[in-house]
Amino acid sequence: MNPLEGKVALITGANRGIGRGVATCLAEDGADVLVNYRTHQQEAQEVVEAIIGMRRRALAWQADVGDRAQVEDMVKSAVNHFGKLDIAVANAAYSVRQAVVEAKWEDVQRVVNVSQFGVFHTCQFAARQMVEQGGGGKIIVISSIHAELPVARSAAYNMAKAAVNHLVATMANELARHHINVNAINPGWIDTPGERQFATEEEIRRGALRIPWGRLGTPRDIGRTVAFLASEHADYITGSCIRVDGGFMPGLTLPDGAP
Positions marked catalytic = 157
Question: Are 173 and 124 a contacting pair, CB within 8 Å?
Answer: no
Question: Are 201 and 193 a contacting pair, CB within 8 Å?
Answer: no
Q: Which residues contact 217 (CB under 8 A, 6 or more apart)?
A: 187, 188, 189, 190, 191, 244, 245, 246
User: In this structure, what are the phi and psi dihedrals at residue 195, rounded to the nearest 5 degrees?
Assistant: -65, -25
The residues facing 34 across adjacent strands are: 10, 59
- Alpha-carbon Rg of the chain, whole angstroms? 18
* Burial label, 253 (beta-carbon count in 10 A; 0-12, 13-18, 19+): exposed
Instruction: Say how far apart CA 19 and CA 137 lie, in whole Å.
Output: 19
